[in-house]
Amino acid sequence: MSGRDDAPAPRGAELINAPGLAPAVGFSHAARAGTIVFLAGQAAQGPDGAIVGQTVAEQFDVAAKNLVQALRAAGGAPEDLVWLQVFVTDVDAYRRSLGQLGDVWRRHFGRRYPAMGLFGVSELFDPAAKVELMGLAALPGAGPAPRA
């Protein structure tokens, strides 16, 4: 499904908006190009667009659920995730929440850990957001990385 009905997807790519997520305004939840899925930043938004959760762990839980929902809408699954960027407005709060975050991670992604980066930012688009996740997935058929 295209992010805008009047805008064609880039050649060779499909723009996808996942049902059940907050409406994507000015972006698409995911873009699939062949076996690669680019996942737009997902914050802890409920279907109405309001931020859900007060703590970093609570918001990470909702953002992870949203990211997986966008990935599934693009034909992928959590085990296809190969790269994740985590943006937080309070790195210290993230560190203090590592135990809870581990539980949340395993609930959504199992015990598989893709290439990741944590970035402390001054703010996110929604002022109530504390966490945003952005990722990349390689769907089956992409093949293994070449060996050096």
Give dist(CA 10, CA 139) in Å, integer: 19
Q: Is residue 4 part of a domain?
A: no
CATH of residue 47: 3.30.1330.40
Confidence of residue 13 (pLDDT cuts 50, 70, 90): confident
Q: Is residue 59 part of a domain?
A: yes
Average pLDDT, the chain: 91
pLDDT of 39 over the 90 cut = yes
Q: Is residue 145 part of a domain?
A: no
Residues 6+ apart with CB under 8 A from 86: 60, 94, 116, 117, 118, 119, 131, 132, 133
What is the domain count for the chain? 1
**Domain membership of residue 76 as a residue range:** 14-138
Q: Is residue 29 part of a domain?
A: yes
pLDDT for residue 3: 44
**Tokens (6 digits) for 76:** 């992928």
Q: Is residue 69 part of a domain?
A: yes
Q: Is residue 148 part of a domain?
A: no
pLDDT for residue 11: 73
- Give per-residue pLDDT as tens, 48-96: 999 999 999 999 999 999 999 999 999 999 999 999 999 999 999 999 9
Secondary-structure breakdown of the chain: helix, strand, coil percentages, each rounded to the nearest 5 = 25, 25, 45
Q: Is residue 144 part of a domain?
A: no
Confidence of residue 12 (pLDDT cuts 50, 70, 90): confident
pLDDT for residue 71: 97
**What is the distance, to the nearest Å, from the Cα of residue 57 to the centroid of all Cα atoms in its chain?**
15
pLDDT of 10 over the 70 cut = no
Give dist(CA 51, CA 70) in Å, integer: 17
Confirm whether pTM is higher than 0.85.
yes
Q: Is residue 83 part of a domain?
A: yes
pLDDT of 6 over the 60 cut = no
